[in-house]
Amino acid sequence: MIIKTKKYQLPTGTYIKTGLKNVLKEQWWVILIALAICAGYFWIPSLWWIIGALIAYGLYVLFWAIQFTGVTQMEQNKTIFERLSYEIDSRQILMKLNTKQGMPVQWNMIKRAEVKKDAFILYMSKAQFIHLPFRIFNSDNERKFMETILKRKELIK
């Protein structure tokens, strides 16, 4: 069975928010570094340890936010944010710009997947993912079949 979706354009805000959440989730240990800097307060009591740690962590988050915002502005990444339709089966995900242009994504390129309350998110790397909201599927059966494929591929539990 092949799942054929409606055309969908990934909003840049959704890309930035989802990408930033993914990076902060994957690199959770950075907050431990900020806490270690805060612990310097016990060595030399000064409020500057805490202020410095908060500024450093804030700059870290700002760095990644700028990275994801920059991706949305680059010319070579414009195709990510165009209206695409998807053809999904157990072999691959075909991202189609139109009937003649498309790009296959093999399932082995997908590292993990998440089922959110309103979408499937298939992660390929920190900054690359496929966001498939439930509303682009033509029926509830197609959405359930997609979930079955993800379970078979052991991308979700």
| CA-wise closest residue to 120 among 84, 110, 73 | 110
Q: Is the predicted pLDDT of residue 152 greater than 80, yes or no? A: yes
Q: Is 35 helix (H, G, I), strand (E, B) or coil?
A: helix
Is residue 42 within 8 A of residue 33, CB to CB? The reply is: no
**C-alpha–C-alpha distance, residues 87 and 89, integer Å:** 7
Output the pTM of the full model: 0.85
Contacts of 16 (CB under 8 A, 6+ apart): 65, 68, 69, 72
At residue 137, the pLDDT reads 94
Angular region, 137: left φ>0, alpha ψ -120 to 50, beta rest: beta
Q: Per-residue pLDDT averaged across 110-135, rounded?
A: 93
Question: Over the stretch 27-62, which tens digit does the pLDDT of each residue have?
Answer: 999 999 999 999 998 989 999 999 999 999 999 999
Q: How many CB atoms lie within 10 A of CB 19?
A: 23
Q: Per-residue pLDDT averaged across 110-137, rounded?
A: 93
Q: Per-residue pLDDT averaged across 114-134, rounded?
A: 92
At residue 147, the pLDDT reads 93
Question: Over the stretch 73-121, which tens digit does the pLDDT of each residue have?
Answer: 988 888 888 999 999 999 999 999 888 888 999 999 999 999 999 999 9
Contacts of 100 (CB under 8 A, 6+ apart): none
Question: Over the stretch 62-71, which tens digit does the pLDDT of each residue have?
Answer: 999 999 999 9
